[in-house]
Amino acid sequence: MKRRRMNQVPLFSSAGEQAKMLVTSNLIDAAWAKIPELQRGQSALPSSVQTMIDHPTPNSTIVVFAPLPDSTQYPLPQGGDLVPYPDFDFLGTKEWPSVSINRAALTLFESLKNHLYGLKTELNKREGQLIITGHSLGGSIASLFTLYLLSSMDKESKCRPICITFGSPLIGNFALQHSHWNSFFLHLVSDKDPLPTLFLSSGRSAPTSSHSQATAYKPFGTYLLCSEIGCACFDDPDLILKILTVASSEVAGGLLQVVDYGEILRNLKNRAICKGPQLAGERFAYPFSDGIVMELKTIGIDPAKHNIDTTRMEAEARTLAKKTKASDAKELNDIKKYMVMLEWYKKKSKEANKCYYDCFKNGDFQRDVRIEEFMGQLTTYWEDMVAQAERKPQKEGASFRTAWFQSATTFRRMVEPLDIAIFYRDGGRDYINNGRSPLYKLLEKLYDEAAKNTTREGPDSKNKKVSVLLTDDSCFWAHVEDAILSCQSLNHANSTPEQRESSWKNLVEFGKYVTKQIENFAVSPEIFLEQSSFMKWWRMYEASIDAFRNFYTSPLVNFMKSHKYDDYGLPEEA
């Protein structure tokens, strides 16, 4: 029995309306019209797939790929298995890092590569609308070529592409579901066409080693699925795969049937302005599920019979519907608010002549309790951003991260010291190897990569306002804590000479590290506040030097002993 909670708002499925909008517009006709035209023309390339380029208006370009109608001279390549294709690894996501492509499509694509490279160079110069279209294996080439083109396009590109294929086989194992690129692909498939699932079924029938690969085919883009009586648009890969599989199992006759997409489009256009036999009837009590059942039945799928869970689809749609631009705007301001709270905490600590790190570690202020709440909110927010980036293909994920990585860096430098404080307060040792969360590791890795790629003007200039700066290395305090532990080990009565030697070595290393930070103005002057953990370490270290290694000296020791830090970070006198 269907149940809907009273407070839930009705949802709708727009799969049918989107399909109707497409077939009543001229976009798909314009794409299809070029295919028979290309097939009638002279073949220009020594290949089973031909291509041409046309400019219907000065501001639009159409690129067409179609197989030769007569394939005796150049037979279409065979091969339903997936072949790893590292050239397309820019499509890899965290879940699907390496990309494999259908062998037949890849063979064709490789054989045309010289030609396609020239075409890409030409298209990169153009502005305006770009339609890339193709039929059957030509459509596979159209898709691969579009991906190839997208990978080299920058944000400023004035060229807007869309790829429209007709009855093309599935291409590869990569997932574009969470990618912006997904919306550039539109695949028209008739329920009478066996070709789209051709490789899928061949992979299935042969339970060889390629079996697991063959079933790893993943649809991407939007599918416009059509039957005699109507059409519907879907973009959920699992649902599309299911529908395609059902359709292919019901296609009679197999391969020989040739599907005329021109005729299909004409029929759908007429259907679009017909009411159909039924009149409206009652209001729909469950518009989403009632709607989607109607839409699926239109394309020959019975959700009950084919085990399609419309309740789950509705639940997913409901989650998506909650995220709006308005709710995003609110969230962004909340995140800013939490950061302001933390900045204030840091400032208040400094006024009390302490580092916020130490204040938090010792629980000096009452407001510390809420600080943990803000840390939690901020961490969740950034974990979500990182996860979003990881679901996108590598290249797109990278540019998505560029947009926010500055804020993420500030977050890491502000919040990680607090996590370090908790770690050592609770008796932890060696935070970097035992306590550091994957989020911080990843954010730091991103920062290092970005720093490598941007030409920096050497170490930050002295004019930089060091006084308001956050310490560059968000793990600075972890190093300090470990140095304190080393000092303790050095001084401990029960320590073996080996332990002492190793502790001393650690301390020398730490000294070098701090010197470098100071030279680069990369640490906040707050670390020199009288009660900071760093000064606590220095006093212990100074005592150890006197006790164990009299006359030991280093740049840091000089710096500290001569109180040079009193001037550190002060504005230079003019």
Partner 1 sequence: MGETVGNLIGLNDEVIHPAATLAVEAHNSPSKQFLVKKIKIRHDYSSVVVLAFSGSMFPDDWFGQPPFGKTKIDTGNFPSLTSLNDGGDAVVNGSFLRRFNGVLDKLSHAKELKEAIEKKRQVVFSGYSSAGPIAILATVYFLENRTLSPRCLTFGSPLLGDRIFGHVLRREGWSDYFTHFVMKYDIIPRIMLSPSSTEQEQILNYFKSKFDRKNINPAPPSGFYLTVVGNASSVASYEACHLMGCRNPSLDIIKSFIELSPYRPSGTYVFCTGNGNLVVVKNPNAVLQILIHCAELGESNTAEVEKRSLDEHSAYLSELKECLGMQAVVSLDGGPATATLNDLGLSPQAMLCLQAAEEFENRRSRNLEKIRNYLEKIEVELEMLRKYKGNAQISRLGYYDSFKLQNEDDDFHANVSRLEIAGIWDEIKEMLKEFELPDDFEKKPEFIEIGKIYRRLVEPLDIANFYRHRKDKETGPYVIGRGARPKRYRFAQRWLEHDENKPFGSRSESCFCAEVEQLGIDIKEKGYLQEIKDRIHQLERNLIAWIGDESLDDDVLLENSTFVKWWRDLPLKCKSESDRIENLIRGKADRL
Q: Which residue has the tokens 């050095």?
A: 490
Least distance between partner 1 and beta carbon 14 (Å): 4
For 18, half-sphere exposure in the C-beta direction (CA atoms, 13 angstrom radius) is 17
Q: How far apart are CA 108 and CA 425, in angstroms?
A: 62
Q: Which stretch binds partner 1 (CB under 8 A): 38-46, 322-330, 373-381, 534-542?
A: 322-330
Least distance between partner 1 and beta carbon 335 (Å): 10
Residue 263 corresponds to which tokens in the numbers above? 């005729």
Least distance between partner 1 and beta carbon 95 (Å): 20
* 3-class state of residue 435 by DSSP: coil
**What is the maximum span of the chain, computed from C-alpha positions, in angstroms?**
100
DSSP label at residue 76: P
Give residues 4-23 in contact with partner 1 (rule: CB under 8 A).
Answer: 9-14, 16-18, 20-22
DSSP label at residue 223: E
Nearer to partner 1, 204 or 218 (CB): 218
Least distance between partner 1 and beta carbon 442 (Å): 26
290 contacts partner 1 (rule: CB under 8 A): yes
229 contacts partner 1 (rule: CB under 8 A): no
Work out which of 48, 222, 349, 409 binds partner 1, going by CB under 8 A: 222
Give residues 167-196 in contact with partner 1 (rule: CB under 8 A).
Answer: 180, 182-186
Work out which of 134, 172, 291, 300 binds partner 1, going by CB under 8 A: 291
Q: How far apart are CA 290 and CA 279, in angstroms?
A: 15
* Contact predicate 147/161, CB 8 Å: no
Q: Which residue has the tokens 């790829």?
A: 163
Q: How far apart are CA 138 and CA 144, in angstroms?
A: 10
Give buried/exposed letters for 55-65 (b at 16+ CB in 10 A, else e). eeeeebbbbbb
Give residues 92-111 in contact with partner 1 (rule: CB under 8 A).
Answer: none
Q: How far apart are CA 188 and CA 320, in angstroms?
A: 25
Give residues 442-501 in contact with partner 1 (rule: CB under 8 A).
Answer: none
Work out which of 321, 387, 451, 543 binds partner 1, going by CB under 8 A: 321
Least distance between partner 1 and beta carbon 338 (Å): 9
Work out which of 35, 144, 233, 389 binds partner 1, going by CB under 8 A: 233
Q: How far apart are CA 440 and CA 473, in angstroms?
A: 11
Which amino acid, one-letter code, is at 445? K
- Bridge partner list, 65: 51, 134
Give residues 265-284 in contact with partner 1 (rule: CB under 8 A).
Answer: 269-270, 272-276, 278-284
Q: How far apart are CA 399 and CA 544, in angstroms?
A: 50
Least distance between partner 1 and beta carbon 62 (Å): 11
Residue 357 corresponds to which tokens in the numbers above? 């790190």
Least distance between partner 1 and beta carbon 334 (Å): 6
Nearer to partner 1, 11 or 523 (CB): 11
Query: Number of residues in contact with partner 1, rule: CB under 8 A?
Result: 67
Q: How far apart are CA 262 and CA 253, in angstroms?
A: 21
Q: How far apart are CA 48 and CA 55, in angstroms?
A: 24
Nearer to partner 1, 77 or 291 (CB): 291
DSSP label at residue 367: T
Least distance between partner 1 and beta carbon 2 (Å): 16
Residue 374 corresponds to which tokens in the numbers above? 């803000």
317 contacts partner 1 (rule: CB under 8 A): yes
Least distance between partner 1 and beta carbon 19 (Å): 8
For 282, half-sphere exposure in the C-beta direction (CA atoms, 13 angstrom radius) is 5
368 contacts partner 1 (rule: CB under 8 A): no
Nearer to partner 1, 110 or 290 (CB): 290
Least distance between partner 1 and beta carbon 287 (Å): 6
508 contacts partner 1 (rule: CB under 8 A): no
For the chain, report the end-to-end CA distance as a whole number of angstroms: 81
Give residues 110-169 in contact with partner 1 (rule: CB under 8 A).
Answer: 129, 131, 160, 162
531 contacts partner 1 (rule: CB under 8 A): no
Nearer to partner 1, 302 or 566 (CB): 302
Nearer to partner 1, 287 or 435 (CB): 287
User: In 3D, which of 86, 140, 136, 85 has the Cα closest to residue 108?
Assistant: 140
* Contact predicate 474/440, CB 8 Å: yes
Residue 302 corresponds to which tokens in the numbers above? 């019975």
320 contacts partner 1 (rule: CB under 8 A): yes
Give residues 331-360 in contact with partner 1 (rule: CB under 8 A).
Answer: 332-334, 336-337, 340-341, 344, 347
Which amino acid, one-letter code, is at 313? M
Least distance between partner 1 and beta carbon 25 (Å): 4
- Which residues bind to partner 1, rule: CB under 8 A? 9-14, 16-18, 20-22, 24-27, 129, 131, 160, 162, 180, 182-186, 221-222, 233, 235, 269-270, 272-276, 278-284, 287, 290-291, 294, 317, 320-321, 324-330, 332-334, 336-337, 340-341, 344, 347
